Amino acid sequence: MPINYDELIKAGATGLTASYTDRETMLYALGIGFGRDPLNADELPYVYENGLKTVPTMATVIGWGASSILAKSGINYLMVVHGEQRLTMHKPLPAVADVTIDERVVGLFDKGKDKGAVLLVERAIKEAKSGDKLCTLVNTIFARGDGGFGGPKEGAPAPHALPDRAPDLAHECDTRVDQALLYALSGDRNPLHRDPNVAKMAGFPRPILHGLCTYGTACRAVISTVCRYDATKITGFDVRFSAPVFPGETIVTEMWVDGPVISFRSKVKERDVVVLNNGKCTLGQ
């Protein structure tokens, strides 16, 4: 079924509800690699309920599965790729919270019959009790098999340009061979990341790591270096996904620090492949 531009551009939902406890907060941090060394006093607060801290990118798994936009879009799921992820933090995530979620389509672009479509979905997450807005996410979805529906061709956000100089620093983060199995418990149970047979049908020799796990791992790199383990400094975290990671590989995040803006990209050390590109982390003043 082809995309109906007029219907999809109006799609959305308000007042979706979700909640998480300290268990989900610690599980997410473990899923992106915090706590490898249980004696690391800087990382322990992210995986231990005594003074528990939150990772900003946990916002991507809050209310996982609550969206209905893609299910009603007519998009071919088998040809969908998560293209970009943007995150704006309005205030730090509580360690425990009941939340409401408003979701809407903010962009739909037709790249051509043989080039696919680009869909931008915004999620605004608020704390239910206070009504305070916690964060806003924008997911860019690349639907490779759904171009040619007659929508606008231009207007999608331009990717952040990396500085034309050597990185100011780089940080290595290991991933475990069972990393995808652990991360899946935060919400995304797509068998592509856990089932070898499904991975082979998709053209991969073995299951690949969730892109949002790689995204969270890059955030871990920034937190443990520039932020000196104070994740509340992060007010924005945007990236473009460029290649998959296999669990067990080493993710090296290169960073350029220009005042409150940290540009970054992440590579797999073993294959020298860029897996996250055009990254932009914004720090509060």
Q: Where are the domains of the chain?
A: 5-143, 169-283
For domain 169-283, give the CATH superfamily: Hotdog Thioesterase (3.10.129.10)
Q: 7 and 152 in contact (C-beta within 8 Å)?
A: no
pTM: 0.94
CATH number attached to the domain at 5-143: 3.10.129.10
Report the distance separating Cα 249 and Cα 31, nearest Å: 15
Give the rounded distance of the alpha carbon of 260 from its chain centre: 21
- Same CATH fold assignment for domains 5-143 and 169-283: yes
pLDDT per residue as tens, the chain (285 positions): 567 777 788 888 899 999 999 999 999 999 999 999 999 999 999 999 999 999 999 999 999 876 667 766 667 766 678 899 999 999 999 999 999 999 999 988 988 887 788 889 999 999 999 999 999 999 998 887 777 787 788 878 889 999 999 999 999 999 999 999 999 999 999 999 999 999 999 899 999 999 999 999 999 999 999 999 999 999 999 999 999 999 999 999 999 999 999 999 999 999 999 999 999 999 996
Give 145-167 as a DSSP string. Answer: T---SS---S-PPPPPPPPSS--
Active site residues: 188, 193, 208, 211
Measured CA to CA in angstroms, residue 131 lies from 56, 93, 240 at distances of 19, 13, 31
With tokens 């019959």, the residue in question is 113
d(CA 38, CA 16) in angstroms, rounded, equals 36
For 133-155, write each residue's pLDDT tens digit.
999 999 998 887 777 787 788 87
